[in-house]
Amino acid sequence: MWVTTPSSTNWLYKLNEEAKITVSLYEYGILQDNAKISYSIGPELMPSDKTGTATLRNGKAVISLGTMSKPGFKDCQLKVELNGEEYQHHIKVGFEPEKLTPYTQFPEDFVSFWQKAKEEASECPMQVSRVFVPEYSNDKVDCYLVKLQAYQKGSFVYGYLTIPKKQGKYPVVFSPPGAGIKPMNPLKDIFYAENGVIRFDMEIHGIRPNLDAETYQEVSRAFGSGNNSYLVNGLDNRDSYYMKKVYLTCVRALDYLTTLPEWDGVNLIAQGGSQGGALALVTTALDTRVTACAASHPALSDMAGYKANRAGGYPHLFTKFEGMDTPEKLKILQYYDVVNFARLIKVPVFMTWGFNDDVCPPTTSYIVFNTLKSEKEALITPVNEHWISLTTRHQILDWIMENLRQN
């Protein structure tokens, strides 16, 4: 077990202030001494600019991370070999990240582009079917598998709708998915419906979510990774990019959810994490029916940030894909980047993120949060990588309940 303690209790520093970390290492609960640790230090998700070794003395070593003259994060990567096995760890600290601003520019026709797209998508008739799912229901909650036509005729998406059994009117939470092509299990968030909130967990690819995991793996291998990923599909044209259908499908989901007789008629909350956090923010910007938004470590945020020599947002098009760094693609991405949607949001937003996240780096979460001009609140959990705890997930629901509008 690694224990890394920054010299600043909140892991944040002023520009040009030196950051240090104290490193301890335990094996079987025993504090190790005289072990030699290798380290590399550099800006978040960028090449390291300092390497070295440190030897644990009396179970500790102090490593200087140096400083930064511009807002951002430094990452210290650690390695040690114990009994023939190599163990790794890392820790990031921030330098005035509240001053981070987007690299991504806001197109002059951004609003009109999406207004026209919504109008065109609304012409697609809404067809809905739903089937009761007993294995995901209990004495407090009814669960349904929903099939919803969206964007264009013959194009469908699926989702699990969980509704409190008790008769009444309830707020609705719309929850789009994280990235990838994988099965869904509504039980992990069934506590929403158990606490008096209708919830809709939606997939975005039109693949039935109750298929077995092996089938999903086959589909994912077919078009879910690398330059064959849906996240780059159609990126040569802003009208053919795969995510256009996804963003507009989220709006169609709201069309359906607002027809539910159990809805309270007022409260419609968008909530999600990673890609789902991005889609929650996008949907909030696109649809004024949304009354609040809760987003965890949003993806698709300041994706071109690498052009500013710092970390950019997931899916890291400029470091993990080929042929993405062109003026044409940069321009198209502006219409799909979360920071540009964040500029338009007018309702309360709750965000949470961790510093040690390499999937959706804290640099981009800060940029989204800094861009928001609406009422906003952040729960920052420095130690977290690309996950949130069950406690935090319940805190998100608490925030939602505290920010409900009165009928």
- Alpha carbon distance 366, 343 (integer Å): 14
Give the Å distances, CA to CA, from 223 to 60, 122, 158, 242: 47, 28, 19, 12
The region that residue 243 occupies, defined by phi over 0 for left and psi between -120 and 50 for alpha, beta otherwise, is alpha
In 10 A of CB 60, how many CB atoms?
Answer: 15
State both tokens at 37: 């640790």
Q: Which of 385, 393, 389, 390 is nearest to 361 (CA)?
A: 385
Sequential DSSP letters for 24-64 = EEEETTEEP-SPEEEEEEEETTS--SEEEEEE-BTTBEEEE
Contact predicate 376/369, CB 8 Å: yes
Interior/surface letters 239-272, b for 16+ CB within 10 angstroms, e for the rest: eebbbbbbbbbbbbbbbbbeebeebbeebbbbbb
Residues marked active site are found at: 274, 357, 386
C-alpha distance from residue 376 to each of 121, 153, 345, 351, 405 (Å): 30, 38, 10, 8, 16
- DSSP code of 326? S
Contact call for residues 250 and 176 (beta carbons, < 8 A)? yes
